[in-house]
Amino acid sequence: KQEVTQIPAALSVPEGENLVLNCSFTDSAIYNLQWFRQDPGKGLTSLLLIQSSQREQTSGRLNASLDKSSGRSTLYIAASQPGDSATYLCVGAGNQFYFGTGTSLTVIP
C-alpha cells in the first residue's frame, strides 16, 4: 500500500530564508506528483506538477524535484515570505491519489 510521508510536519522560519520541504513515498509506481498549498479555511491550490519522466519543475520562487528511484520529492522555496505561510501537501498519482501528511509552514516577518 502506498504511503506518503512529509517531513517536517511543521516548520517555522524567519522571512527571507530558503527552505526545503520533503515528501517520501513507499511505492515508486506513480505517474506524477503534485504539490499543493492550503491556506486555513480554504481549498487546495496547485503549485507544481512533476511528471514521472521529469526530474524537476520550477515556478517563480518554487522548485520541485522528483526522484522516483529513491521515492522522494522535494519542494524548495527561495527567499520565503510571510505570504508563504500555509500547509503544503504532496500528492502522488498512481491507480488513485495518495495524499501526503502535510507540512505546516510559518514564515515569521
Residue (of 32, 19, 26, 20) closest to 4 by Cα position: 26
d(C-alpha 88, C-alpha 51), whole Å: 19
> Judged by CB under 8 A, does residue 58 bind other proteins?
no
| Bond from prior residue into 40 cis (ω within 30 degrees of 0) | no
- 59 lies in the site for other proteins, by CB under 8 A: no
Does 32 interact with other proteins (rule: CB under 8 A)? yes
Is the CB of 46 or the CB of 59 nearer to other proteins?
46
Binding site for other proteins (CB under 8 A): 31-32, 34, 36, 41-46, 49, 89, 91, 93-97, 99, 101-102
